[in-house]
Structure 1
C-alpha cells in the first residue's frame, strides 16, 4: 500500500520579479479565501493583499518556486532594529508540506544577517498556530487594516 504522507517539494527560493505582482496578489487572495471568508470580507482585504512592483522593489520579497509553480512567497519590511512580516503566503496546493517553514527560515536568516533580533507579524487569527510553532509569541492585538472592528493577533519573535 502506498503512503499518504506528502513530502516537502524541491523548492527554489528566489527574489520576486517586478512583473509578478498580479500573480502574487491572486495567490494571496486564494490563500486567504481557504479560511472560508465570505466574498464581502475578501473584497475588503483585496487592497491589503495586493502586491505592486513598488512593494517588490522596496521590501525583502522572496518566492518559493516548485518547478513552474509558485508554492508561496514572503515579504518582510526591515526598519532600524526590527522587521515586520508583511506577507507569508503558501499556495493551498502546497499546504502542509513545509513551504511556510522554509520561507520563514529564509526570512529569519535575512533578518539575522542584517542585525535584526525582533520580528513582528499581524497574523490572520487562523495562522496564529503556525507562527507559534515557528517560535513566535502573541504580544497583544492590533486593529485590522482591512476590516473595521476586527482585531488581529500581534505575534513577536525575539532571537
Structure 2
C-alpha cells in the first residue's frame, strides 16, 4: 500500500467509497442519501481540500482523507476506508499521513467532526473530545467534535 495525492478524475470513486464506508455502520437509506450529497468530493475540490488516497500496488483505492484549512488550525473533514479494509490498518496509516501533512503545511492542530462510530478510533490516535457539532445530514443529531494537536517533531 502507498499513499499519494488524489487525482481529480478519482473524485467520483472517492465519493462512492465514502458512502460505502458510511453504510458499513448500518445507517438507513434516508441517512445514506443525505450522506451522498454531504460526502461528495468534486474534481475541482481534490487539490484544494488536500484529498489523499491509500492504494494497493494495483491501483485499487483502499481509503482517503481530506485535510483542509490554513495555519494554525485545520480540519480533517473526511476520512474513510473501504469496508473490507476497516480495522486492517489502512485508517492508522492514513491518519499518520494526515498528521505528517498537517505538520508540513504548518498546522498546529486540526479538528474532526467524527461519526460516532469512528470516535474511538480517533481517540486511540491521540485526539481529544472538545465538544459537539450538529450533523449536516440529520436534524437533531450531534457529532463528537475532536481536536488533534500536531507535535513539532
Q: Same fold (TM over 0.5)?
A: yes
Deviation at 1:64, TM superposition (A): 0.2
CA contact (8 A) 2:71 2:106 kept: no
Q: Report the TM-score when normalising by structure 1.
A: 0.90
Q: 2-side partners of 1:78 and 1:122: how far apart?
A: 14
Residue ranges of structure 1 left out of the alignment (5+ in a row): 1-10
What number of residue pairs does the alignment pair up? 149
**1: CA distance between counterparts of 2:11 and 2:106?**
28
2:15 alignment counterpart: 25
Displacement of 1:95 after TM fit? 1.5
Offset, 1:79 = 2.0
What does the per-residue CA deviation read over 1:79-135, in whole Å, with 9 as the maximum and x for residues that have no partner? 231110011110111121110010111110111122211110000000000000100
| SS of structure 1 residue aligned to 2:46 | helix
Would the aligned equivalents of 1:121 and 1:154 in 2 still touch at CA under 8 Å?
Answer: yes
Structure 2 counterpart SS, 1:116 = coil
Match of 1:86 in 2: 77
**Alpha carbon RMSD of aligned pairs, Å?**
1.0
Is the aligned partner of 1:118 residue 2:109? yes
Contact persistence 2:71–2:108 (CA under 8 A)? no
- 1:68: Cα distance to partner? 2.8
Q: What corresponds to 2:128 in structure 1?
A: 137
Hey, what's the Cα distance between the residues in 1 that align with 2:33 and 2:62?
A: 23
1:1-159 equivalence runs, <5 A: 11-66=1-56, 67-159=58-150
Q: Under a length normalisation based on structure 2, what TM-score does the superposition of the two structures give?
A: 0.93
Check the 8 A contact 1:45/1:147 in 2, yes or no.
no
Question: 1:68 & 1:85 partners in 2: Cα distance?
Answer: 24
